Chain A
Amino acid sequence: MTLAKRIIPALDIKDGQVVKGISFENVQAVGDPVALAKQYEADGADELVFLDITATNERRKTIMDVVQAVSQAVFIPLTVGGGIRTTDEMAQLIAAGADKIFVNSAAVKNPDLVTEGAKIFGSQAIVGAIDAKWDPKAQFYRVYVSGGQVPTDWNAVAWAQELQKRGAGELLVTSIDADGNQDGYDQRLYQELAAAVDLPLIASGGAGQVQDFVDLFEKTPVDAALAASVFHYGTVPIPKLKQALSQADVEVRQ
């Protein structure tokens, strides 16, 4: 027996509110992160990821208020990221109630952020987030930054190994090609990464239906599947998803 495969809803937070449409029944305050987080916890989510997309100077305070409020009401691991550039910001978010911090563009720009964060908070608290896109010319998955807009020189496999070396405890990997298409996860990306690093992998991007999750866990060794829209819009209810995974002999927490 081993660890249960994790199902992780992602919530985009802007100015303290969840953006993207939501179709939960019985949730009064649509867009309220606390109400939604509670609903997801009750549905059996194994962890929650909050991506702060607030663009104003007040951004840090609003996301910290969200983390503080959610961590008082919801008792599953909370991973928070989006624009984090310093270990001070990490410390503030962890003090507010975040269990893990994910870093993306800032880590590419300044890889010492990962090293320092792991040293101060432990590897278990530092998640390396990678946005990757298949480059047909180079014949590898290329790392992109700034919300998947800007290509870098990094091969995603090499960058994953670098993140591991620097002390990241987990990788959250989004396929830019698959993201938003609802046509399934990019299995080859995760197979390549899993063969190259020993870290737990969270797959992100491409979930459209229950079978996409089943395929991901049957065909790749990833530890967790992250999705947003299919959970927010109720296309894939988490209880139903977990039942289907269990029936497919994928171990999940019921």
Chain B
Amino acid sequence: MKIAIVDYGAGNIQNVVKAIASTGLDTVVTKDPTEISQADGLVVPGVGAFARAMDKLADAGLVKVIQDFAKTGKPILGLCLGMQLLFDSSSEFGATKGLGLIPGQVVALPKQVDYKVPQMGWNQNQVSQDLPITEAISGQYTYFVHSYYAQTDPQYIAAWVDYGSVKVPSVVVKDNVMGAQFHPEKSGPVGLAMWQRFKEMVVGA
């Protein structure tokens, strides 16, 4: 069983590799379309700006590769910006098209008194859908660093956190396509437990 981690130059992904490796799964960090297609599970990491990340995916010829991977039914997990890329579009620096794997838009966190942007730190997850991917995080704190968040239909929100008056989706799911707004690779034992669940999905798929 092998997990492909999409390498398109958007942020440091070594810590994602280390976390997945700790579950015992093989990982390959790659932008090779064949290697991605042949993987048993796919992780789309990302730190930085939406438009630049989509440009980089497009430059590497990976937009369709990821979209095709999603159609196979094999598990795919986007992390932080990688989660945001799963949606239709983002309003970050003008409207930018995303991967379109989950209906919804990515918008800026609003300015609120006492709630700094970016949201940076540990917030407590409320689970609205009992799924393998949310099993480990119910009522648990995970580590967030982000300035934008996904607005989507409740049917795709598997877990959320409250940030002031905003309900921030923390885990989104549409069939085999999943995303985490937080960093499971930086969320301590809870994050590792989530990686274990992801591993079981990959092995069971």
Contact = CB atoms under 8 A, between A and B. Distances in A.
Contacts of A97: 14-15, 18
Contacts, number: 83
A94 B21 CA distance: 19
A1 B163 CA distance: 6
A169 B116 CA distance: 11
B120 to A, nearest CB: 6
B116 A200 contact: yes
A46 B122 contact: yes
A235 interface: no
A2 B189 CA distance: 21
Given A99-B15, A169-B118, A2 B187 contact: no
Interface stretch (A9-17, A70-78, A138-146): A70-78
A77 B19 CA distance: 12
B162 interface: yes
Given A75-B185, A75-B188, A200-B116, A3 B123 contact: yes
A141 B51 CA distance: 42
A170 to B, nearest CB: 7
A72 B14 CA distance: 9
A71 B15 contact: yes
Nearest to B118: A124
B159 to A, nearest CB: 14
Among A4, A75, A97, A99, the most chain B Cβ lie within 10 Å of the Cβ of A75
A169 B120 contact: yes
Among B11, B47, B186, the most chain A Cβ lie within 10 Å of the Cβ of B186
Chain B residues touching A, majority SS: mixed
A200 B18 contact: no
Given A71-B18, A77-B143, A97-B15, A3 B119 contact: yes
B140 to A, nearest CB: 8
A162 interface: no
Interface in A62-97: 71-72, 75-77, 94-97
Given A3-B122, A75-B185, 14 more contacts: A2-B115, A2-B123, A4-B121, A6-B121, A72-B18, A75-B15, A75-B187, A96-B14, A97-B18, A124-B118, A198-B116, A199-B116, A200-B120, A253-B141
14 contacts: A1-B124, A2-B163, A3-B122, A3-B123, A3-B163, A46-B122, A75-B19, A75-B192, A95-B12, A122-B11, A124-B47, A200-B121, A221-B114, A253-B141
